[in-house]
Chains A and B, each alone.
Chain A
Amino acid sequence: MSELTENMPKKNPLSLQIDPKRFEPASEDEKAQQDVMHASTSFFRDGMRKLMKNPLAVASIITIVVIILMILIVPKVVPYGYDEIIRVNGSRDKTVTNLAPFQYSEKEQAAIAAGETIFPHIMGTDSLGRDYFVRVVEGAKVSLSVGLFASILVLIIGVIYGSISGYKGGRVDLIMMRIVDIIYSLPDVLIIILLSVVLNQTLDPNNPIVKALGTNMVAIFVVFGLLYWVSMARLVRGEILQIKNNEYILAAQAMGGKSGHIIRTHIIPNCISVIIITTALQIPSAIFTESFLSFMGMGVQAPMPSLGSLANSARQGLQSYPWQLIFPAVLIVLIVLAFNLLGDGLRDAFDPKLRR
């Protein structure tokens, strides 16, 4: 166009050898072709497309999938149990403790020389002679499940509490939010310590749940259920208050929709993405808390390993066997980082406030 304008004074546009046929009216079909509409994309598909374009989020998903696959496959492949002290040919082997990765003890070397196959200790062994790889994987499983269950607990309580507060509004909202403020001001670590002491005294040690998890773990879950849901509740409430301001809620009222209908068809679908994002970000924080508490000696009960307790027991031999700390520590970092990056990626892709 610019060229034409510049050249215009010198040239007659009609002398540009324009075919008069091109000045015939265009048919409706030809015109319709100009007015294309893009292929339909749902909110979810559009978000997934954005998520898959984010290299960090994709890397996180791959990391998480690899770790989960490891947790599922390793116990089936490796012939050692996480709480099993390694025996060679049925007899106790004193030299099998604190081996370096891929090292064999003297007895094992002898057995290999005798033609037996012995599965390698990929991450070495610990001070009691247990295969460290299996323990780290089992620790990852425990840490992940704690994170997941704690987050689900937070999700359920936070969403129910937040939705009631947000939807009811007014005085109910005021009182419920002040309770949240009070809970916010309680120091969580202190409460966990106090709770585990109290629960130790009061809980029936024969209760199957307590037996399986240990009082400390029960305390952690109770604390998550009591304290950690508040930020979720605040978030859901804020989101619902915002959704309630939209005119489509008013439109639903004008057409005669009742509360139940409005909550089901409008409010829940519109805040679900924010809830998912927050849950994804809650998982690493729960894993982190669990690891931290286990590291402090208040987490899982021996012999059950968690990444935190593994790191804790590795502290004693830090000078001689640094890998015993490095493996669980690296795994904690990987898991927490992956979930955080995935959460951020989900937010970038799905948060309605960031979309335009």
Chain B
Amino acid sequence: MSETNKSEYLVEVNHLKEYFPIRTGWGKTTMLKAVDDVSFAIKPGETLGLVGESGCGKTTVGRTLLHLYKPTDGEIRFNGELVTSKNVHKFRKDMQMVFQDPYSSLDPRMTVEDIIGEPLDVHKLYSTKAERHQKVLDLMSLVGLNAEHATRYIHEFSGGQRQRIGIARALAVNPKFIVCDEPVSALDVSIQAQVINMFEELREKLGVAYLFIAHDLLIVHHISDRIAVMYLGHMVEMAEADELNDNPIHPYTLSLLSAVPVPDPEKARANKRIILEGDVPSPLNMPSGCPFRTRCRFATEQCAKERPALTDRGNGHMVACWNK
């Protein structure tokens, strides 16, 4: 908890592990290793993108980071201070979350005002009803919502507007850090840009840091300063956004990038895709060594024996691969 630590990173995650016990038979349980030894750090005002396919553990990282799941192992530091289940309430105001599904993440029986005001209620951030009302209206205008809509119920709003409400709720307690869990993937294409722009504007205005979880590489690339790629609960590559896009090193990142459908017919025709064979293995039945080796073109015997660690390949470009 040194002072130097404090100044450099806002959020630090070291060797985070999250295992879920799964009943596999009579009295037998197997550990599902949703997140296995993941480390990263985020500076104040920085955006770290976290990409990966479904089941790779990216959502679990976000939720464990906020202690919505109790971490199995590893440490989480906020402003250099260790976050534990006992003191997590102290940090609830500083770390917030925006959810993927703007339908299930907002209570259908509450008005917009009550939804945005809920965190104010929980932390008792107002003294009079009028003050609460004013704070809610300020938040609504901050995310571009019409103040007249404060008394409405969420079923009357479109997906994009609902996501704005969800963001206003997260901003109500003035957080320094927001976990955005696939915040635009449920939205229409024409609305995604609105929400992404808003995230960027809020970052400029309020200086919040984001952990931006998504599966759409183009969107993550657009919003993130750095990007981390996850596969089967492990982090396989982490680099500056442009660096990762231009010089991907890990074979999985390569194929992930080439699989992204580019909205440009000529480029799509020219694109030589690296089509990955087969499916992601079940996390209950993880391959030995490197988790990606069953689908990797470069896999060798060493990959089966030992798991590669993340190593720095220069300029903070971290890769976990034996062969590249």
Contact = CB atoms under 8 A, between A and B. Distances in A.
- A and B in direct contact, judged by CB atoms within 8 A: yes
Interface of A: 37-38, 40-43, 246-248, 250-257, 261, 265-266, 269-270, 352
B119 A255 contact: yes
Nearest to A37: B156
Contacts of B104: 246-248
Contacts of A252: 118, 122
Contact of A40 (B93, B95, B106, B152): B152
B27 to A, nearest CB: 14
B92 A247 contact: no
B68 A250 contact: yes
Contact of B68 (A41, A253, A269): A253
A265 B118 CA distance: 9
B108 A251 contact: no
Given A43-B109, A257-B118, A270-B108, A247 B101 contact: yes
Contacts of A257: 118, 122
Nearest to A254: B97
Nearest to A45: B153
A255 B92 contact: yes
B173 A255 contact: yes
A251 B101 CA distance: 11
Interface of B: 63, 66, 68, 89, 92-93, 95-97, 99-101, 104-110, 118-119, 121-123, 149, 151-153, 155-156, 166, 169, 173
Nearest to B95: A254
25 contacts: A37-B149, A38-B156, A41-B156, A43-B155, A248-B105, A250-B63, A251-B166, A254-B68, A254-B96, A255-B92, A255-B96, A255-B118, A255-B119, A255-B169, A255-B173, A256-B92, A256-B93, A256-B119, A256-B123, A257-B122, A265-B107, A269-B107, A269-B109, A269-B110, A270-B107
Contacts, number: 75
Contacts of A269: 107, 109-110
B118 A40 contact: no
Contact of B99 (A251, A256, A266, A270): A251
B183 to A, nearest CB: 12
Contacts of A253: 68
Contact of A255 (B100, B106, B107, B122): B122
Contacts of B173: 255
A43 B107 CA distance: 12
A352 B101 contact: no
A43 B99 contact: no
Contacts of A41: 153, 156
Contacts of B96: 254-255
Contacts of A261: 121-122
B153 A247 contact: no
Nearest to B158: A37
A67 B151 CA distance: 39
Contact of A254 (B66, B106, B107): B66
Given A246-B104, A247-B104, A40 B151 contact: yes
Ranked 6 nearest A-B pairs via Cβ: A256-B92, A247-B105, A255-B119, A269-B109, A254-B97, A248-B107
Given A251-B169, A255-B92, A43 B153 contact: yes
A349 to B, nearest CB: 14
A100 B280 CA distance: 82
A42 B108 CA distance: 10
